[in-house]
């Protein structure tokens, strides 16, 4: 057992008994939503996973420990502390651990800690990817590299639509990451179901998702699998509205010189403001939708 890893008793018991477990990230708690909606949503997502037959494992770094499974009190702590918690990617782990500090895990670090703990399925909102203008800025999310090397299935609502979706798909193809559309042949774009880009394969049941991932593990193929699950129709935002808001948010970020890990939180907050909060409501619903699918898939994988 990794000496820096702390697995909650509930998650440890579930893993020991071969029960389904679903990992959850914590950046969405500290950086993705305002308090107290962030805590309420995190607990609601955990309950959704329980209601669908799996054990939730919210992942974070608290006091220099890699936590696989947070208590409600720890989730409250992360949510209340908010953006004062470091947004932690792979590069941040050594220093945060050495300092005994706190960190909110991104897709990348959630995958790392989930894999350490033996958790194979992870539900999130949307992944990072290749940012618009990356041909000059080289701004490419570490999420894509992690998907290429860490054996975890990531269930999301597609890549965030603030990104260059075409280049993101090209990057994943180069890295050999299968991109699956759940019930769709088109890549969902987070707030909206349409992007105009095709996924590698369409799969329509949790059973087939589990079978495909099990085959990947059995063959010893490196890396994870990306499952893109469209936001429910009733919460999907019209592409023209969300794209207009994103274009305006990107323009303002460029004018302010915002770069690196501050880019995504700024853009998401600005899009929320420009859409009068509609994007936040959509964000909550797509995470719940992904949690349901992740629990059902983890249950199949555990059989």
Decide: 8 and 57 in contact? Cβ < 8 Å. Answer: yes
Q: How far is 48 from 123, CA to CA, in rounded Å?
A: 11
Which of 160, 261, 270, 272 is labelled catalytic? 160
Q: Which of 25, 46, 74, 300 is catalytic?
A: 25
Q: Helices marked H in the chain — which ranges?
A: 9-16, 27-30, 37-51, 72-81, 93-99, 107-117, 134-137, 142-149, 165-174, 206-218, 239-256, 263-274, 278-302
Residue 56, SS3 per DSSP = strand
d(CA 295, CA 123): 9
Secondary structure of residue 113 in the 3-state scheme: helix
C-alpha 161/C-alpha 191 separation (Å) is 7
Q: Say how far apart CA 117 and CA 22 lie, in whole Å.
A: 11
> Does 17 participate in catalysis according to the annotation?
no
Structure token digits, residue 190: 């987070």
d(CA 57, CA 265): 23
The answer to whether 25 is a known catalytic residue is yes
Alpha-carbon distance of 260 to 250, in angstroms, equals 13
Q: Output the CA angle 250-253-254, nearest 5 degrees.
A: 90
Catalytic residues: 25, 160
């Amino acid at each position: 057992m990794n000496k820096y890893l702390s697995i909650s008793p509930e998650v440890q018991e579930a893993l020991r008994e071969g029960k389904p477990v679903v990992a959850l990230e914590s950046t969405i708690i500290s950086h993705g939503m305002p308090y107290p909606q962030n805590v309420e949503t995190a607990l609601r997502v955990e309950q959704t996973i329980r209601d669908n037959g799996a054990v939730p494992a919210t992942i974070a770094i608290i006091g220099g420990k890699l936590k696989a499974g947070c208590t409600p009190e720890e989730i409250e702590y992360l949510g209340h502390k908010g953006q004062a918690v470091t947004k932690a990617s792979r590069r941040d782990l050594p220093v945060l651990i050495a300092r005994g500090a706190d960190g909110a895990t991104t897709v990348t670090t959630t995958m790392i800690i989930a894999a350490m703990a033996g958790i194979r399925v992870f539900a999130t909102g949307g992944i990072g990817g290749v940012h618009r203008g990356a041909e000059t800025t080289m701004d490419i999310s570490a999420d894509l590299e992690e998907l290429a090397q860490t054996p975890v299935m990531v269930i999301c609502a597609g890549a965030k639509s603030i990104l260059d979706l075409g280049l993101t798909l090209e990057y994943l193809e180069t890295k050999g990451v299968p991109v699956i559309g759940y019930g769709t042949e088109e890549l969902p774009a987070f707030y909206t179901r349409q992007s105009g880009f095709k996924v590698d394969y369409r799969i329509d049941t949790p059973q087939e998702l589990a079978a495909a991932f099990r085959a990947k593990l059995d063959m010893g193929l490196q890396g994870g699998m990306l499952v893109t699950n469209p936001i429910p129709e009733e919460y999907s935002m019209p592409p023209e509205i969300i794209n207009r808001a994103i274009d305006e948010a990107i323009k303002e970020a460029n004018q302010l010189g915002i770069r690196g890990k501050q880019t995504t939180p700024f853009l998401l907050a600005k899009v929320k403001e420009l859409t009068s909060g509609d994007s936040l409501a959509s964000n909550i619903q797509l995470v719940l939708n992904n949690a349901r699918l992740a629990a059902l898939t983890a249950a199949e994988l555990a059989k």
